[in-house]
Amino acid sequence: MDHFLYKDGRLHAEDVPLSEIAASVGTPFYCYSTATLTRHYRLFDEALAGLDHLVCYAMKSNSNQAVLKLMGDLGAGVDVVSGGEYRRAIAAGIPGERIVFSGVGKTEEEMRLALSGGIRQFNVESEPEMALLSQVAVSLGVTVPITVRVNPDVDARTHEKIATGKSENKFGIPIARAREVYAQAAALPGLKVIGIDVHIGSQLTELEPFEMAYAKVAELTEVLRADGHQISRLDLGGGLGIPYERSNTAPPLPLEYGDLIKRTVGHLGCEIEIEPGRLISGNAGILVSSVIYVKAGEGRSFLILDAAMNDLIRPAMYGAHHDIVPLIEPEAGAEQSTYDIVGPVCESGDTFSKARAMPALQTGDLIAFRSAGAYGAVMSSEYNTRPLIPEVLVKGDQFAVIRPRPTYDEIINRDSIPEWL
């Protein structure tokens, strides 16, 4: 469920007509719903009721400061994967004891930053990282809680570019080597082994891969405890998918996911962490764009928008689908036209959809990409010297710009020309 609905023939974000936001800030822009973000966080929190747990929002899906502040105020932790994300989390008021640091390529600088500013744990992904973290912790005179990310070699049955739990993926250490690596970790100064980390991929639409991975984690927990390790926390990652196509079968609900966690690892007495991102922010955001031209091509028509692949790269990068709807509600039985929906960037890959049936549209009409709140604004760029587009947060009948559109002067003046040119 989201809070983007037609009311009196106009698409609204909660109680705000999106056309009013467009008139105020221009197009294209992203718009997020406070009610949807709040509801989705609470669904996960309630799904783990009865277990000692922390929902750590995966901020790589949407790292705007306002979204992070909202999550933090709700009691969420955050999962960060870079020093920049750590700085964003701290700036948004998330305390260090609720920040989990993941990622395969943590640098010494990032380690020092997090150890100095406060951290809940590091999810360690390799032996070289473990050795470096030990050195940094010792140099700072601190002891850092760690989990080791294990790769369970489970096929998440998702897009190959967002699968992370198979043996050929770059993430974690093979689960078959876990006992050896945990023994090394326990022997290193400055490190305190507290648990196990696993994450098998993103946009999972069925529970079986989770069940397979978590069964392996449960077995490993017993083995490591028998080896003398104090395994008290299980970080089970994220990855639960969202329904990008409304006509498709809906992915499992957070409540079903929570029941699976309780069934597979609930008996171990561990604190549970999960790291949802897409399911919290994905359907909480839309991208609003204007039609520049309707162009007749050879055997097809093109809907040319003012949004482009630099604003929403998922279709170009992943072949991803987004439902696209007009801001004015079509009449029942309205005539449909078929369009290739494209942006203005000079790339054939700047295509959002081919042969998409839509109500007939014309220059100046407004449309919305649904389910664009995750991996939209955070993956955008200024390719073709196109400014990053505004982000807007709605709450009830209020809206605020939470990231303004930069001016062309601001973009160009970031460059500097050497004196010798």
As annotated, the active-site residues are: 346
Q: How far is it, in rounded angstroms, from Cα 374 to Cα 283? A: 8
DSSP string, 295-338: EEETTEEEEEES--TTT--HHHHH-----EEESBPPPTTPPEEE
Helix (H) or strand (E) holding 245: none
From residue 79, give the alpha-carbon distance in Å to each of 60, 85, 258, 271: 8, 9, 19, 16
Q: How far is it, in rounded angstroms, from Cα 93 to Cα 323? A: 34
Residue the block writes with tokens 């709140």: 373
Rg (CA), the chain: 23
Type of residue numbered 283: N
How is residue 390 annotated by DSSP?
Answer: P
The answer to whether 196 touches 232, Cβ cutoff 8 Å, is no
Neighbour tally for 276: CB within 10 Å: 26
Q: How far is it, in rounded angstroms, from Cα 314 to Cα 341? A: 14
Helix axes 83-91, 108-117, angle to 10 degrees: 20
From residue 43, give the alpha-carbon distance in Å to each of 8, 151, 259, 272: 30, 27, 12, 15
Q: How far is it, in rounded angstroms, from Cα 115 to Cα 379? A: 27
CA-based diameter of the chain, in Å?
A: 70
| 355 alpha-carbon distance from chain centroid | 28
